[in-house]
Structure 1
């Protein structure tokens, strides 16, 4: 019966679970083993935008986070989400954050989401705090606005299935060290990781099916050797791509570069089994080069952010898609 009550308690939202813990000593003991610790402004009832957060709210966020984690046993945590604002100017020191992670990050944790509101002070992910056995449990890792510096031989992420980096400081060599140990990885998303110059996805990632790369400003080349990659989404300046013939879904939103010409000239031989193609850019020329054949493309979306583009020139593109079922054209009428 105790296990049933504990399970029911674990399904409650964080604030409701905390209220229920005030009812009895039994429920308080469940609270000390509450598995889903999502400690953010929203879950703790602190309203206000990230960038407009007052010093008081930042301090309140740190104080409530500290109180919850200090009163938690550290047992049974499966999800830990921490939002750190104005770090460490007003509310939180590196020692505080290391201590919080030391309390909750234990073998059995499945998801870790650690996000800072800004680059005000760079926090280095503390590999030294990771416990033995962590590598067998962690499934999802999301980091934002911090530094991640793995070294050769790091083997903490063997069971990782999803990796999300937002504004994370990591070099291509460091990312390579990480990916070499994530043999179960299924989804990889990189946004604004501006230390990356080249992205190399090794062939040992047999389970990787979804790859998203967005606004990594200095990235020049992406080479993916993962044999079962299904979808790739990219936002940024056009660059050198090598994606493999397993790809079926491709979405390229080019911030700079003529993506229409790029697609015609490069994609038919690069991704011969493509079934869905979505491309958009504001940098396009009026004439489309004669494309190769997109033999399997059934869905095609072209977005052109230009009011004076010769849209009839896209006819040759359509001629290269004999299996096409759906065509969507998005046009901007901005002057």
Structure 2
């Protein structure tokens, strides 16, 4: 079969069936499995595999994932804690790893730690609703150019604990914060910390900006540490509204966030070399 792309969504599959597809479709380059209730393990291995893109999400019964794929370029996983083994992926450049619980994100990053140094793009999705969170220290990610955090957080929680990946990425050019931020948290003063110098970061984008303590102090950290920052984009549109008709609806929340962004820009007048874009 000359099948190159396969997307199985809301289809109950097994490891045996997926292995059959991989062995009988030697030109398969893209495999997506979403919301399979029967998939408990996945073994994607073979020296002759053409597979370049592997996406596994919402398969909550999966316990074991083993990958050995010489041509794999991107790997995406969102779900429960599983025993992930990336054994061989010399071409891997792009990774998305997400969980509803932050400690499982740390676990997942640990499982792929030997491949972090070759990544160009990394996206992490995590929830911080249940407490403060701090990423561990990482070895240098010398190839990383684009880093995205999708964070679900109550305002007042400290996002500065997520900066260790930024500090470990000297070649980072763009940082994006996709923030699902609620206003229910307790108010506190904005905390300032000494930023680790970053000479290559050129653009920062914040989606879902509220102007609360959590997102504001992380932006200040980036402005202080990224010496050559050229552009800061602030988008008050809630992340969940993007791609829907609500994206273009003006609400009081968006107007209030936009006013906060304009006020914040005034406080950063000394950053004249940075282009502030408020959507």
TM-score (norm 1): 0.51
With 200-209 and 74-83 compared, the bigger mean Cα shift is at: 200-209
Q: CA separation in 1, counterparts of 2:24 and 2:135? A: 43
- Distance change in 2, residues 1:32/1:108 (3 Å): closer
Equivalent residue for 2:118? 159
- Distance change in 2, residues 1:33/1:97 (3 Å): farther
Greater radius of gyration (CA)? 1
Equivalent residue for 2:18? none
Aligned positions of 1:132-171 closer than 5 A: 133-134=88-89, 136-146=90-100, 147-149=104-106, 150=109, 154-167=113-126, 171=133
TM-aligned CA deviation for residue 163 of structure 1: 1.0
Equivalent residue for 1:248? 230
Q: CA separation in 2, counterparts of 1:261 and 1:226? A: 26
Equivalent residue for 1:50? none
Aligned positions of 1:237-316 closer than 5 A: 237=212, 238-239=216-217, 240-243=220-223, 244-253=226-235, 258-266=260-268, 268-270=269-271, 272-275=272-275, 277-279=276-278
Equivalent residue for 1:13? 5
Q: CA separation in 2, counterparts of 1:144 and 1:232? A: 21
- Distance change in 2, residues 1:259/1:207 (3 Å): same
TM-aligned CA deviation for residue 209 of structure 1: 1.3
2:177 aligns with one of 213, 218, 223: 213
Instruction: Indicate if the aligned counterparts of 2:140 and 2:169 stay in contact, CA closer than 8 A.
Output: no
SS in 2 for 1:250: strand
1:36 aligns with one of 30, 34, 37: 30
Q: How many residues align?
A: 213
Q: CA separation in 2, counterparts of 1:216 and 1:28? A: 37
**Higher strand fraction: Structure 1 or Structure 2?**
2
TM-aligned CA deviation for residue 125 of structure 1: 5.4
- Could you tell me which runs of 5 or more consecutive residues in structure 1 were left unpaired when the two chains were aligned: 1-5, 17-26, 41-57, 117-122, 280-300, 302-335
SS in 1 for 2:105: coil
- Could you tell me which runs of 5 or more consecutive residues in structure 2 were left unpaired when the two chains were aligned: 9-20, 237-252
TM-aligned CA deviation for residue 162 of structure 1: 0.8
TM-score (norm 2): 0.60
